[in-house]
């Protein structure tokens, strides 16, 4: 069974630009969560999507948004990029929504904002 | 404000020794406490998890000890091996996961 895939793996952008990251969950998984990982703040929850609906949202500004498609694939968008957005963005999929459903993480997309 | 405090930041253990990582939380709404293991270049992977109705859970060489009154939980790795060298994250959840800042474990052969 293929794991969670994230594309692209690396991305370099400049301040003010916007970026879209993609996540393909494990086949059969309907929930996708996004996390930001930085050396200073660690792993922080961005949002969770289940059946194309946002179920939960972390404490991030509105520049961070996401969506989920009918095939459970998810995209995350960051607009008006800031230097502080440089991070590893991780996507995790699970069979169902909620904390008790084991999350399987992808390898992440490394975003660098110059 | 860090919802889950994790210590130590880094840990060096001899092969065969016991590795202990500690976490503390304040929010009594937390009712799910997983531990994740992350190798360089990979996403975190669930190692073991506990709910507050038990004080200890063991899976192979990995044990979680949970102290509800103290709002603390810890991961013990028995007979630590060089292959255990990784970063370990504790987490806690009412709904979404709040992660600790991570512990980089190095097991020396």
Percentage of chain A modeled with pLDDT above 90:
89
- Closest chain A residue to B96 measured between Cα atoms? A99
B1 near A CB under 8 A: no
Q: What is the pLDDT of residue B50?
A: 93
**Alpha carbon B65 to chain centroid, angstroms:** 10
pLDDT band at A3 (very low <50, low <70, confident <90, very high): very high
pLDDT band at A100 (very low <50, low <70, confident <90, very high): confident
Q: CA dist A25 to A5, A75, B3, B30, B90, Å?
A: 7, 11, 28, 27, 23
Mean pLDDT of B60-88: 97
Q: What is the pLDDT of residue B96?
A: 87
Shortest distance between the Cα of A110 and any Cα of chain B, in A, equals: 10
B3 near A CB under 8 A: no
B23 forms beta bridges with B6, B73
Instruction: For residue A61, give every residue at least 6 positions away whose Cβ sits within 8 Å of its Cβ, in sequence order, or none.
Output: none
Q: CA dist A70 to A29, A30, B32, B75, Å?
A: 12, 9, 29, 39
pLDDT surpasses 80 at B47: yes
Mean pLDDT of B62-85: 97
A98 near B CB under 8 A: yes
Mean pLDDT of B25-35: 93
Using only C-alpha atoms, what is the Rg of chain A? 13
pLDDT digits (tens, 9 = 90+) for A6-45: 999 999 999 999 999 999 999 999 999 999 999 888 999 9
B77 near A CB under 8 A: no
Q: Mean pLDDT for chain A?
A: 95
Shortest distance between the Cα of A73 and any Cα of chain B, in A, equals: 18
What CA–CA distance (Å, rounded) separates A23 from A38? 19
pLDDT surpasses 90 at B72: yes
Q: What is the pLDDT of residue B94?
A: 85
């Amino acid at each position: 069974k293929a794991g969670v895939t994230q594309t692209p793996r690396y991305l370099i952008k400049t301040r003010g630009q916007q970026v879209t990251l993609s996540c393909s969950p494990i086949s059969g998984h309907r929930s996708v969560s996004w996390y930001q990982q930085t050396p200073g703040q660690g792993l922080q929850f961005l949002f969770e999507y289940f059946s194309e609906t946002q179920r939960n949202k972390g404490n991030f500004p509105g520049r961070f948004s996401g969506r989920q498609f009918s095939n459970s694939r998810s995209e995350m968008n960051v607009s008006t990029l800031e230097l502080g957005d440089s991070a590893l963005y991780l996507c995790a999929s699970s069979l169902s929504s909620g904390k008790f459903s084991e999350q399987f993480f992808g390898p992440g997309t490394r975003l660098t904002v110059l | 404000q860090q919802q889950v405090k994790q210590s130590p930041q880094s840990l060096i253990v001899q092969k065969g020794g016991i590795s202990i990582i500690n976490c503390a939380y304040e929010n009594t709404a937390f009712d799910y406490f997983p531990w994740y293991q992350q190798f360089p270049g990979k996403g975190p992977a669930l190692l073991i998890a506990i709910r507050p109705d038990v004080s200890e859970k063991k899976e192979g060489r990995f044990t979680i000890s949970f102290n509800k009154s103290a709002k603390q939980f810890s991961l013990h790795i028995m007979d630590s091996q060089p292959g255990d060298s990784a970063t370990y994250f504790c987490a806690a959840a009412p709904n979404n996961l709040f992660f600790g800042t991570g512990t980089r474990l190095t097991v020396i052969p």
